[in-house]
Amino acid sequence: MKDTLKAADGHRLAAYVAQPAGKPKGVVVVVQEIFGVNSHIRGVADGYAANGYLAIAPALFDRVQPEYESGYTQEEVGRGVEIMKKLDFGNALLDVEAALDSAPADLKKSIVGYCYGGTVAWLAACRLPALSAAVCYYGGAIPNFIDESPKCPVMLHFGEQDKSLPAEKARVVAQRHADAVSHFYDAGHGFNCDQRGAYNQAAAKLALDRTLEFLDRHLASK
């Protein structure tokens, strides 16, 4: 279902919310790629809900272009990059906090981000105190924030053939933050998205299995 969130600075943004069948095991804030909260991200949120989590996908691009979503052509990639450049990570974290605050207070909370969202998830782990876990898929700008330290358990997924985040830079992040659980896959950037040419089914399944085990351990445990 669609919901409206209000950030601390008064900004209102849309969010896609997927409810589990029973009592949620915890909360997963799903942070988009540069293509908005499109059918893929909604499907990702639905998947976490099917695994027992309350999933909330805030529309971070609403600050620039409300209700933006796109496909994956080169033109759409370029358009998404231009919107991303107009965004501020500080405001993105306000929107993430709005999503976290909208969830029941008694549930443990996590964040999972992809591409642009992977960097947002990293910064959330480092700057927001409300999180019990964070999972970052190929966040291209994470090396720019390598000196920041996570406040919660973090899992990092990287592609060995990622041209947006070269493996050598990703390995520096993994080495600097040895407490984070880092995984490397024989895949490229965007390997999790089944609507993109870079989709790698084997890598996506393994990464999801690891992510769900990680979330279950840190959120669903008593």
Instruction: Check if 11 is active-site.
Output: no
151, burial (CB in 10 Å: exposed 0-12, middle 13-18, buried 19+): middle
Given the residues 40, 157, 177, 189, select the one marked as catalytic.
Answer: 189
Using only C-alpha atoms, what is the Rg of the chain? 16
Assess whether 193 carries a catalytic annotation.
no
Q: Pick the catalytic residue from 95, 136, 157, 162.
A: 162
Which of 40, 62, 95, 115 is an active site residue?
A: 115
162 is a catalytic site residue: yes
Q: How far is CA 194 from CA 72, 89, 181, 203, in A?
A: 11, 27, 24, 11
Distance of alpha carbon 50 from alpha carbon 197, whole angstroms: 25
* Euclidean distance between CA atoms 177 and 125, whole angstroms: 13
Annotated catalytic residues are 115, 162, 189
